[in-house]
Chain A
Amino acid sequence: MSYAGSFIPHTDADRAAMLKTIGVKSIADLFVDVPAKHRFPKLNLPAPLTEMETLGELKSIAAANDSTDDYVSFLGAGAYHHYIPAGVDAVLRRGEYYTAYTPYQPEISQGTLQAIFEYQSLIVALTGMEVSNASHYDGATALAEAVNMSRVIHRGARKKIILSPGLHPHYRAAVHTYEHGADSQIVGEDLDLSAGPDKLIDLIDDQTDLVAVAYPDFFGRIYDYTKLAEAAHAKGALLAVSVNPTALGLLKPPGEMGADIVTGEGQPLGIPLSFGGPYLGILTTKQEYVRSLAGRLVGETVDSRGQRGYVLTLSTREQHIKREKASSNICTNQGLMMLAATVYTSLLGKSGFRQVAETCYHKAHYAAEKIAKLKGFKLKFKDTQFFHEFVVEGSMPGVELNKRLLERGIIGGYALGEDYPNLENCNLFAVTEMNSKEEIDFLVESLAEVTSA
């Protein structure tokens, strides 16, 4: 019998020899502990395909998608279309990285360990924080973990969590899911969207555990949170800031504003859109809270021969040691995505990283300015600085606008009505270095046409 498709290398002779060594007659004899009536169920699955047929099948399924490859796209809202240098995937495709696991044995895992150490360093540099973990699942779960972490730091004594309405709706939803059953109280999400961080300050009291905001926020807006950090600290609360790392190529890092925890979605750092995952959760904090930080950490040390090396460290925080006393259950993180971010950030470097951030900024501002001049459109938050996303208010529901744009080959900005009923006629447009002036002009032209039609 051939098992070619199963990647099983055994020959009949191998099997016979192995069964003899084991002392059983057949492979079926190895399953006597399985209740007979449930043993060897017949599975209803498609007949197996060869590699050649499989690739053909997958290509045809992929072709049923109309992706950002086929359309001009101004969709962002937490996942961004950026150029990924070829070098990133060249490194990711090395089997030594992608077929290794968590570096439990440091003597034969220095590649992964050093990559994590470099990632931690680069993220510290970008965020202006003191400690980064080895990664979390994504931006949403990193924020949920920040809430968890803050509770640990305050030993559960504070019950109020303030979430800015400018945090990504999915991130806030994930926090609600994680917090369900905890006796915490989540406030702030229904604040006036135009108000800015000062309104959050009014909510802070001595029961406040954590204040969480986004930078830039979900609507692309840039705020300086220094005063918010001071207000939080004055009441003994912590400040968490969820970032888009691309923006940190240009903007003041939240570490300089006094943030206690910085989380974020690392997808813009060399990770393809891939329909929403796998992405990369950024999770950082101050040195004083390092023992409350979830996830793997890599530290520098020396080996028995006096050479510099790296190991997983402070594992006494983690589930496999602390079991039910661990503050988080995280085990597997986003190793390979961490590597993508490390290679991407290194290849772009000081100048390239800044250049991408500035180009996004300039193009988004060019687009916003032109759209704002169109009849029937205005910028929703026109008095606030923005990075590479902005909210446009039109004269029809955002979903409807997008349908009309799609007919012209444009994936429009995210329609905000479903998440923010007050913003029914609003779309959140994202512009990156991938959008040429020609594409932007085409968008502007199309917006004019679809509203006059």
Chain B
Amino acid sequence: MPEPLIYDIGAPGRVGVAFPEPDVPLADLPKEHLRKDLPLPEVGELEALRHFTRMSQLNHSILTGFYPLGSCTMKYNPVINEETARLPGFAHAHPLQPAEMMQGSLAIMYHLQEWLKEIAGFAGVSLQPAAGAHGELAGVMMIRAYHQDRGDSKRNKILIPDSAHGTNPATSSMSGYRVVEIPSDARGNVDLAKLKAECDDTLAGLMFTNPNTLGLFEEQVVEVIDAVHKAGGLVYGDGANMNALLGICRPGDLGFDVLHINLHKTFTTPHGGGGPGSGPVCVANHLVDFLPGPIAGIVEQPKDGDAPVYGWVSPAKTIGRLKAFHGQFGMHVRAFTYILMQGAEGLRAVSEHAVLNANYLKARLQGAYTVPYDRVCMHEVVLEGRWSDAPEVHALDIAKRLMDFGFHPPTNYFPLIVREALMIEPTETEDLATLDAFAEAMLKIAEEAHTTPEILQQAPHTTKNGRMDEVRAARQLMLCCEIPREVEAA
């Protein structure tokens, strides 16, 4: 029995939450501007809460089970984050209040900026971007502004490895650049020779993910970056995979010019069913002036032990505002909270164990599954979800079958350069027993693929819903329910 829609429950006249009557004399309403009806639900508080609670129970989540969705870093989101972000001083702060009243919020942003710079090895950072893709956009805009500022106007192309996230090419073309795809070599690295062949004076930059989406550390990362720099280009780093690098290696030290960081991946702010994210963008010295602003800064140095005075600072050649106000501040508080609990050693332990867990799963699954690039992986491992002796089984079937064992499937069909890819990112917060249970399920599925493939093809069997007809959804487009339109009241 599917959960009814909010419009299908309730009754005419029912009220969920009542508000006080106005305590002021009533004004004349603007008759010519009034709407005729307001077709919203009429539900009681309990029935609404039951509705949304029952719906929640149809979700798989980190708090209910293992969620090895590659590239998304689905690790434990500490519940303390939810407390700190809701402290009234933060939650009820208006974004346009004067800086003098907001020294707490500005201190959070300032210190988070300093810590992210330290962790990633950069000279400047803006917390304004709302998500990873938004940080990417900021990064590519800064690259463009940098070249323009130098009067270097013929640079019109961006290089992107074929293993890159789809947001990279979309961002580049959104910024008006021509995208040139660079293939990967046999070891899963960017093909250095092919990259060098594109390094000419029309090169604006390279969008580079390291570890890449195959879960591999680029073995020639320094050479790749040098080649781009020699041609006058800049290197943008996609920080989606930063969970492998905390205390392990700083992208800034490797020569990256720009990097965005996903607070909702690496720094435990919750994914929220699809957001909000938060995508701070970090830059090396020569790009600091181009950062999106305003940025939290110290406007008056402390005198004898006093706290410094924080305020807003606008970078000299800023690319401008990317959104209203100051970024996803609630996420900044959560990331601040998390880093404060880790310290340097804790952060290094995070990445060490993320990598340990991924290599453990790789070791357990190798043999039963093909590992297309067989070397030590970083925080995630990519397998092929196919067997030549079970041609009717696909990665999708494996993904759906995993649900019967209580697991969220890995990312599948990405990266595009691996056939029937299964991209598994266990994260550091999963224990050995969970990893073993997942490995056992994967091994059992590999066996079923050869003995009873129909079990896979018809999976999932134990979930409340079976496979969805996605073709029908796209062909018979229904993007909202029927809205009850009222006859105008007399």
Contact = CB atoms under 8 A, between A and B. Distances in A.
Given A18-B432, A124-B483, A278-B331, A250 B273 contact: no
Given A3-B346, A296-B274, A177 B322 contact: yes
Interface stretch (A35-43, A185-193, A233-241, A374-382): A35-43
A324 B346 contact: no
Interface in B430-468: 430-432, 458, 460, 463-468
B250 A41 contact: yes
A38 B250 contact: yes
Contacts of A93: 82
B85 to A, nearest CB: 8
A150 interface: no
B374 interface: no
| B3, B34, B52 interface centre (most CB from chain A within 10 Å) | B52
Interface in A416-449: 433, 436-437, 440
A321 B348 CA distance: 35
B384 interface: no
A83 B78 CA distance: 27
B78 A137 contact: no
A16 B219 CA distance: 27
Given A329-B133, A346-B16, A95 B61 contact: yes
A58 B121 CA distance: 26
Contacts of B103: 64-65
A9 B429 contact: yes
Interface stretch (B191-199, B227-235, B280-288, B335-343): B335-343
A46 B340 contact: yes
Interface in A93-123: 93-112, 114-118, 120-122
B389 interface: no
Given A40-B348, A102-B273, A64 B63 contact: no
A65 B42 contact: no
Contacts, number: 694
Interface string A339-381: 1001101111111111110110111011001000000000000
B316 interface: no
Nearest to B95: A276
A61 B18 CA distance: 35
B277 A174 contact: no
A174 B25 CA distance: 40
B43 A346 contact: yes
Q: Which among B34, B58, B429, B480 has the highest number of chain A CB atoms within 10 Å?
A: B480
B96 A48 contact: no
A231 interface: no
A298 B474 CA distance: 10
Range, interface on chain A: 35 or more
A138 interface: yes
Contacts of A299: 473-474, 477-479
A181 B175 contact: yes
Nearest to A305: B466
A326 B166 contact: yes
A141 B130 contact: yes
A195 interface: no
B393 interface: no
A35 to B, nearest CB: 6
Interface in B24-62: 24-27, 29-30, 32-36, 38-43, 45, 48-49, 51-53, 55-62
Interface in A306-329: 307-311, 313-314, 316, 318-329
Nearest to A20: B363
A21 interface: yes
A297 B376 contact: no
A131 interface: yes
Interface in A47-91: 47-51, 54-55, 57-59, 61-69, 73, 75, 77-79, 81, 83, 85, 87, 89-91
Nearest to B130: A137
Contacts of A320: 165-167, 414
Given A95-B61, A121-B7, A3 B349 contact: yes
Nearest to A365: B27
A107 B464 CA distance: 7
Nearest to A183: B176
A452 interface: no
A353 B95 CA distance: 25
Given A115-B273, A173-B321, A321-B166, A301 B7 contact: no
A345 to B, nearest CB: 6
B48 A14 contact: no
Nearest to B121: A41
Interface in B165-187: 165-167, 169-176, 179
Interface string B50-85: 011101111111111001010010111110101111
Interface stretch (A157-165, A200-208, A330-338): A330-338
B322 A275 contact: no
A450 interface: no
B10 interface: yes
The size class of the interface chain B forms with chain A is 35 or more
Nearest to B416: A323
Contacts of B190: none
B388 interface: no
B137 interface: yes
Contact of A104 (B69, B75, B179, B357): B69
Contact of A121 (B34, B64, B470, B483): B483
Contacts of B141: 177, 180-181
Contact of B272 (A67, A97, A121, A265): A97
A396 interface: no
Nearest to B164: A323
Given A114-B5, A331-B132, A347-B17, A79 B94 contact: yes
Contacts of B208: none
A372 to B, nearest CB: 13
A27 B342 CA distance: 19
A180 B167 CA distance: 19
A75 B94 contact: yes
Contact of A222 (B15, B30, B357): B30
B253 A141 contact: no
A278 B332 CA distance: 10
Contact of A319 (B6, B85, B166): B166
B88 interface: yes
A134 interface: yes
Contacts of A338: 273-275
A299 B472 CA distance: 9
B86 to A, nearest CB: 8
A253 interface: yes
Given A18-B356, A174-B322, 13 more contacts: A24-B376, A55-B83, A78-B325, A81-B94, A99-B61, A121-B483, A272-B92, A276-B95, A290-B479, A301-B473, A349-B41, A351-B13, A406-B98
30 contacts: A5-B342, A7-B76, A15-B356, A40-B247, A51-B341, A67-B97, A69-B92, A104-B411, A105-B60, A120-B479, A120-B480, A141-B134, A173-B320, A177-B141, A222-B30, A275-B325, A278-B275, A278-B328, A309-B468, A313-B474, A313-B479, A329-B170, A334-B274, A335-B273, A335-B275, A336-B273, A337-B275, A338-B274, A353-B40, A362-B22
- 4 A-B pairs closest in CB distance: A276-B325, A276-B95, A95-B63, A336-B272
